[in-house]
Amino acid sequence: MEILIAILLIILIIILIIISIVVSKIKRFTERTYGISNLEQLEGLIELSEIEEANTPKSITGMESIYLPKIEKDFPELNINELKRISEKFIIEYLESCDSNKIISDVNYMSDKVITLFKTKIEDTKQNDIHFDSIKVHRTVLGSYEKKEGKATIIFNSSLEYFTTGTDGVRKKVQDRIKTEFIYIIDNKKVGNVKKSVGLNCPNCGAPIKKVGHKTCDYCGAGVVDIVKKNWILNNLTQY
């Protein structure tokens, strides 16, 4: 019995020595790295770092100089800044929908994929009892653009902030980034069933408008500028 007690004491002493060494190394590291000498100061530094992170907008990358000339060539009537504002409106409504437990955006300008995404997010936040408020978009930039396989795609990157309140009742400020993808259907036959009635047709004679940037219908000569502007559909929305 005495031998067992002695062994336990030796083990305890070894553990205390290890803890002492680790604490000593942490103190030396924090003093050398941050100029502080105790753990309370380190906790304060971590808290300040978290506050700074919560108040610093996340960085986003724009490619306006590369892609904007291509968009202007293909869609001369499109106001890219107007589409950015629409993108920001969808982002705010996306989070507000999660808080209100119902889609508040106009589903006529959303693909079936996005509608499903909204419903899934709403259900997730409802189950976890999360609430959003004070949503603010800091900045939106053009991320990319491509035209292939019967459609044109524009992607915007946005930085934003909002507050969340969970089941613990704690209200936290969050900095976030969201990517929105808009598509313009050039040829329905090539893209499949993205969404009914998304394809672009002349409002006068019903003929398909197959060439982007056209101001008039090739068949009847009617103007199609307004319908071109309205035919961009939100196809995806992701936090990253």
Residue 164 maps to which CATH number? 3.10.450
Residues 111-129, mean pLDDT to the nearest whole number = 91
Same-domain pairing of 69 and 138: yes
At residue 146, the 3 state secondary structure works out as: strand
Same-domain pairing of 42 and 66: no
Same-domain pairing of 168 and 109: yes
Residues 227-232, mean pLDDT to the nearest whole number = 58
* Position 53 confidence tier, pLDDT thresholds 50, 70, 90: confident
- Overall domain count for the chain: 2
Residue 132 CA, chain-centre distance (Å), reads 15
* Position 84 confidence tier, pLDDT thresholds 50, 70, 90: very high
Same-domain pairing of 72 and 32: no
Same-domain pairing of 188 and 159: yes
Same-domain pairing of 132 and 220: yes
Same-domain pairing of 35 and 65: no
Same-domain pairing of 192 and 83: yes
More confident residue, 142 or 227: 142
* Position 64 confidence tier, pLDDT thresholds 50, 70, 90: very high
pLDDT > 70: percent of the chain: 73
Same-domain pairing of 47 and 81: no
Query: How many CB atoms sit inside 10 A of residue 18's CB?
Result: 10
CA distances to 100, 121, 169, 185 from 103, rounded to whole Å, are 8, 10, 25, 24
Same-domain pairing of 83 and 129: yes
Q: What is the pLDDT of residue 204?
A: 65
Residues 9-28, mean pLDDT to the nearest whole number = 83
Domain boundary among 39, 54, 69: 54
Mean pLDDT of the chain: 81
Q: What is the pLDDT of residue 151?
A: 87
Lookup: tokens for 3 = 């031998």
Domain boundary among 54, 72, 98: 54
Same-domain pairing of 106 and 124: yes
Per-residue b/e over 167-182, b at no fewer than 16 CB within 10 Å? eeeeeeeeebbbbbbb
Domain boundary among 54, 73, 90: 54
- Tens-place pLDDT, residues 20-43: 888 777 777 666 665 555 556 556
Q: What is the pLDDT of residue 107?
A: 86
At residue 166, the 3 state secondary structure works out as: coil
pTM > 0.85: no
* Position 237 confidence tier, pLDDT thresholds 50, 70, 90: very high
Q: What is the pLDDT of residue 167?
A: 86
Question: Which phi and psi (to 5°) does residue 42 adopt?
Answer: -65, -40
Same-domain pairing of 32 and 70: no
Q: By residue range, what is the domain housing residue 37?
A: 2-54
